Amino acid sequence: MNSYEKLTNAVVTSNSLLCVGLDSDIARMPESIEKNMDGILDFNIRIIEATAAYTAAYKINFAFYEQYGTPGFEILKKTIETVPTDKFIIADAKRGDIGNTSKSYAKSAFEYFNADALTVNPYMGSDSLKPFLEYEDKMIFILALTSNPGSADFQHLISDGEPLYINVIKKTSTYGNKNNSGYVVGATHPEELSRIREIIPEHFLLIPGIGTQGGDAKSILQANGDKPAIINVSRDIIYQSSLDIFAEAAAGRAKYYQELFNE
């Protein structure tokens, strides 16, 4: 089963377009959680258990673990090991380097951490992305139009009549196919989605930016229609409560998003 099939199955089985982002930060742990590495792992395990019924995927943002160095990487790996095997796991690390080096990043994400997919940065072009595509059963999500304010700085620069993010999608979609590549398109850009979907109607989109970042779920889903997509929510689910009931609160919020996205 390739990653496209695994993600499709995960969406169908959970009846959910939701991806829960585990941006777990020691400074934001609930009161009852120890403020150390064991605490973060305990928090992640309880969030995963509580939300699994409402989500197709989990996205692990590497930065939040790398900030603690080696012990952080240890709990990142352990967190991934506790995710139920039918859920899709996205290593959100935004990697990319010259070919020789990207091979090592691919080995890290796909072999050591055993993620189903990895987010990658297209700035360095074809040889920086192709080593990831050699893993036939894995997927990359290529940054196209990101959800943050800085996305306006370069991603909208017009060349040959199209913005950079469209030029990125046009060219990189020739490197692989829908089975091994998808795109990151922020929920903050519903008006740009129809042009994107003309070029890549079949690829999965990973849509961040709902919740804390202010993107509107209804607008982006209307623009996307019934094409393959998952929508990430991180902070607004995992930090829904700082009390003892944080896991139940996260489950409630995940269920809310599951239903909202199915409307």
Sole window of 2-10, 102-110, 194-202, 220-228 interacting with a copy of itself (rule: CB under 8 A)? 102-110
Nearer to a copy of itself, 86 or 112 (CB): 112
Subset of 216-255 contacting a copy of itself (CB under 8 A): none
- Per CB under 8 A, the list member of 2, 52, 68, 256 interacting with a copy of itself is 68
| Other CB atoms within 10 A of residue 259 CB | 13
**Which H helix or E strand runs over 256?**
helix 246-262
Q: Collapsing DSSP states into helix, strand and coil, what is residue 242? A: coil
Residues 135-174: x where in contact with a copy of itself by CB under 8 A, - otherwise, as a string: --------x--xxxxxxxxxx-xxxx---x--xx--x---
Angle in degrees, 0-180, between the axes of helices 99-106 and 126-133, rounded to the nearest 10: 30
Q: Which of 35, 78, 87, 94 is catalytic?
A: 94
Instruction: Assign 3-state DSSP to the chain and report helix, strand, coil percentages, each to 5.
Output: 50, 20, 35
CA distances from 164 to 195, 200, 208 (A): 13, 15, 19
Residues 178-207 that bind a copy of itself (CB under 8 A): none
Q: Which stretch binds a copy of itself (CB under 8 A): 35-43, 71-79, 82-90, 218-226?
A: 71-79
**103 counts as catalytic:** no
Q: Residue 9 has which token pair? A: 């199955």
For 257, residues 6+ apart whose C-beta sits below 8 A from its C-beta are 18, 54, 210, 217, 231, 233, 237
Measured distance CA(107)–CA(48) in Å, rounded: 25
Residue 15 DSSP code: T
CB of 172 to a copy of itself, least distance (A): 8
Residue 96 within binding range of a copy of itself, rule CB under 8 A: yes
| Catalytic residue positions, numbered | 94
Tell me which residues touch a copy of itself (CB under 8 A).
23, 25, 61, 63-64, 66-70, 73-74, 77, 94-102, 104-105, 107-108, 111-113, 121-129, 143, 146-155, 157-160, 164, 167-168, 171, 213
